[in-house]
A and B are shown apart, each in its own frame.
Chain A
Amino acid sequence: MAFDLTYKPYGEHAVLIEWPAIINRDILMDVLFFRDNIVHDNIKSIINITSGYTSLLVSYDELNFDFKIAVKALKTIRNQKHEPIKSVFHKWRIPVCYDMAFGVDLEVMALEKNMSVDDIIKRHSETSYTVYFIGFLPGFLYLGGLDESLHIPRKETPRLQIEKGAVAIGGKQTGVYPGESPGGWHIIGNTPISFFDPSKSSPCFAKPGDTVTFYPVSLKAHQDIKTLVKAGVYQIESEVIDD
């Protein structure tokens, strides 16, 4: 890989690895590739790895952490000439009900953007979004790829309570609220799919590198899917990405 990486100490027992500050899928794939190789190397003192758009935070056991030794080991992993670890990525299809009953900000947004509500729904559900990482709240996916015509500043006054499953737009991003929370994004719909299940060892179905598309469903279909999700029998539509 041709990217220039920097290694910085971050607190007493962590290394921050940074890529050039550009958000794109190539850099994301390289971040995840390096992460997978670190995981594969199974260094016992590493207790946690978190990724962002262009960075990896590698945290170590507090005892005997030495920044220089840690970086040397990471660079060795980086420079290894080994078989690439081939991760499997998925393309998820997520049902969203864009009915006004859920999409409480659709009309305001349509006025502000001088578009029809149908146009907003069409453009939002036509895009394939890349999952960059999960942060902000447990199960909150940072999705890249929102159509520029849908970019809109966050609301000046955040709502104190946003429903679980709310699909929203804020700034240049779109996302799904995985649980009830306050928030300042414009709510355009709701999905019956659960994005975070703390009872599972892998609590999120999606992971960085996957893609997500939203497709419109009726109020009735939303209700039906919700029932299936609650019963634990709903299968989210997905396929393996070939690239």
Chain B
Amino acid sequence: MIKVIHPGFYSTIQDLGRFGYQQFGVPYSGVMDRYAATLSNQLLGNTKASAVIEMTMTGATLEFLCATNICISGADMRPQLNAIEIPLNKSMAVHAGDILSFGTLKSGFRCYLAVSGGINTKMIMNSRSMYKGVTDRFRLAKPDELLIPNASIFDAHASVRTHSDYMTSEYIEVYKGPEFNKLSVSEIKKLKSTSFTISKDNSRMAYQLEQPLKNSLEPIITSPVMPGTVQLTPSGSLIVLMRDCQTTGGYPRILQLKETSINSLAQKFTGQNIAFKLVNY
């Protein structure tokens, strides 16, 4: 078991998400940064679909009630085990009674904690990803106790080449969205040349951008959307949908982020800038 002593700013349990339930209006959910979460699982020898804890902006304080191996990836929040700093992207043995805590955010925005065998909360619709109205709990809170599998400590020498440039790069690679061709030449030019600032309205559902894009696009008949879809509202707001987004929407879908760019954006926060780089199908 892992005991939540302090949940941090916003921490949830996530795996790769729910698929096949969107016909019921259920969001995909799942880890915001798949690269980092998958990396932490890989370094422990877990399957890709193992559930991890996703921590946003500030880390949680957790007490381990049993021994296991852990691995932390993604944002650098200066993780500490019993008050001693530990590295990212490395399998670490923990013992019953050990306390994992975090310092201040150094880079990125979302950090992942994987444990040997994965977090073992109840599956709802084939996933452990927390979402309000679908799972009983929608975020970690004190004093939650999370079930983890019994695992014996191992010395891990697995090494994987990791990279973190994706977290700092300003470029977000995008494909044309279904309604891209409704944009005028000047609107496309502006879309490509503007450095957009992430507004304070950013969450697991969507990232809204600050600079408006004046446009004359008509709303569309409500149609499916997915994580990574960039919607353009009549007032010119650009909304980048993220993992917990609704399954359908009525705003024109002008761009679609590459999967790797969703990971990049997930590591960015209020006030940071991004630039769209159009790539071909």
Q: Which of these, A11, A48, A133, contacts B256 with CB under 8 Å?
A: A11
Contact residues, A135-177 vs B (CB, 8 A)? 135-140, 142
Q: Which of these, B25, B224, B247, B258, contacts A16 with CB under 8 Å?
A: B224
Query: A48 CA to B175 CA in the complex, in Å?
Result: 20
| Contact B247–A135 (Cβ < 8 Å) | yes
Q: Which residue of A lies closest to B249 (CB)?
A: A135
Residues of the A chain whose Cβ atoms lie less than 8 Å from the Cβ of B281: 9, 67
Residues of the A chain whose Cβ atoms lie less than 8 Å from the Cβ of B248: 50, 52, 133, 135-136, 142
Residues of the A chain whose Cβ atoms lie less than 8 Å from the Cβ of B177: 10
Residues of the A chain whose Cβ atoms lie less than 8 Å from the Cβ of B133: 137-138, 178-179, 196, 198
Query: A57 CA to B258 CA in the complex, in Å?
Result: 17
Q: Which of these, A9, A54, A199, A203, contacts B26 with CB under 8 Å?
A: A203
Tell me, rounded to whole Å, the shortest Cβ–Cβ distance linking A52 to chain B.
4
Residues of the A chain whose Cβ atoms lie less than 8 Å from the Cβ of B178: 8, 10, 16, 18
| Contact B24–A48 (Cβ < 8 Å) | no
Judge if A119 is at the interface, Cβ distance under 8 Å: no
- Per-residue interface assignment for chain B, residues 10 to 43, with 1 indicating a CB less than 8 Å from any chain A CB and 0 otherwise: 0000000001111111110000000000000000
Query: A8 CA to B180 CA in the complex, in Å?
Result: 11
Q: Which residue of A lies closest to B20 (CB)?
A: A48
Q: Which of these, B25, B224, B259, contacts A57 with CB under 8 Å?
A: B224
Residues of the A chain whose Cβ atoms lie less than 8 Å from the Cβ of B23: 49-51, 133-134, 207-208
| Contact A12–B20 (Cβ < 8 Å) | no
Question: How would you classify the secondary structure of chain A's contact residues: helix, strand, loop or mixed?
Answer: loop
Q: How large is the interface on B (under 10, 10 to 19, 20 to 34, 35 or more residues)?
A: 20 to 34
Given A16-B224, A57-B224, A204-B24, decide whether A50 and B256 contact each other with a Cβ distance below 8 A.
no
Residues of the A chain whose Cβ atoms lie less than 8 Å from the Cβ of B147: none
Judge if A53 is at the interface, Cβ distance under 8 Å: yes
Residues of the B chain whose Cβ atoms lie less than 8 Å from the Cβ of A201: 125
Query: A67 CA to B281 CA in the complex, in Å?
Result: 9
- Per-residue interface assignment for chain B, residues 224 to 260, with 1 indicating a CB less than 8 Å from any chain A CB and 0 otherwise: 1010110000000000000000111000010011110
Judge if A221 is at the interface, Cβ distance under 8 Å: no
Residues of the B chain whose Cβ atoms lie less than 8 Å from the Cβ of A211: none
Tell me, rounded to whole Å, the shortest Cβ–Cβ distance linking A160 to chain B.
14
Listed residue (A9, A133, A135, A199) with the most chain B CB atoms within 10 angstroms of its CB: A135
Listed residue (A18, A50, A178) with the most chain B CB atoms within 10 angstroms of its CB: A50
Judge if A59 is at the interface, Cβ distance under 8 Å: yes
Judge if B186 is at the interface, Cβ distance under 8 Å: no
| Contact B247–A50 (Cβ < 8 Å) | yes
| Contact A55–B125 (Cβ < 8 Å) | no
Residues of the B chain whose Cβ atoms lie less than 8 Å from the Cβ of A50: 22-23, 224, 247-248
| Contact A12–B259 (Cβ < 8 Å) | yes
Judge if A118 is at the interface, Cβ distance under 8 Å: no
| Contact A23–B221 (Cβ < 8 Å) | yes
Judge if A14 is at the interface, Cβ distance under 8 Å: yes
Query: A67 CA to B175 CA in the complex, in Å?
Result: 13
Given A9-B281, A48-B20, decide whether A53 and B259 contact each other with a Cβ distance below 8 A.
no
| Contact A52–B24 (Cβ < 8 Å) | no
Residues of the A chain whose Cβ atoms lie less than 8 Å from the Cβ of B27: 138
Judge if B96 is at the interface, Cβ distance under 8 Å: no
Given A51-B224, A52-B222, A52-B248, decide whether A203 and B19 contact each other with a Cβ distance below 8 A.
no
Judge if B83 is at the interface, Cβ distance under 8 Å: no
Residues of the A chain whose Cβ atoms lie less than 8 Å from the Cβ of B26: 138, 203
Given A50-B23, A198-B124, A203-B26, decide whether A21 and B247 contact each other with a Cβ distance below 8 A.
no
Listed residue (A52, A134, A138, A202) with the most chain B CB atoms within 10 angstroms of its CB: A138
Residues of the B chain whose Cβ atoms lie less than 8 Å from the Cβ of A202: 24
Q: Which of these, B125, B228, B229, B256, contacts A198 with CB under 8 Å?
A: B125
Q: Which residue of A lies closest to B246 (CB)?
A: A136
| Contact A139–B259 (Cβ < 8 Å) | no
Given A47-B19, A179-B133, A196-B133, decide whether A138 and B24 contact each other with a Cβ distance below 8 A.
yes
Query: A136 CA to B19 CA in the complex, in Å?
Result: 16
A-B contacts besides A9-B175, A179-B133, A203-B21, 5 pairs, CB < 8 Å: A10-B256, A52-B224, A54-B221, A138-B27, A208-B23
17 pairs across A/B with beta carbons < 8 Å? A11-B256, A16-B224, A21-B220, A52-B222, A52-B224, A52-B248, A53-B223, A134-B24, A137-B246, A138-B26, A139-B24, A139-B25, A178-B25, A198-B133, A203-B24, A204-B24, A204-B25
Chain A interface residues (CB < 8 Å from chain B): 8-12, 14, 16, 18, 21, 23, 47-57, 59, 62, 67, 133-140, 142, 178-179, 196, 198-199, 201-204, 207-208
Closest 3 CB pairs of A and B: A135-B248, A57-B224, A52-B223
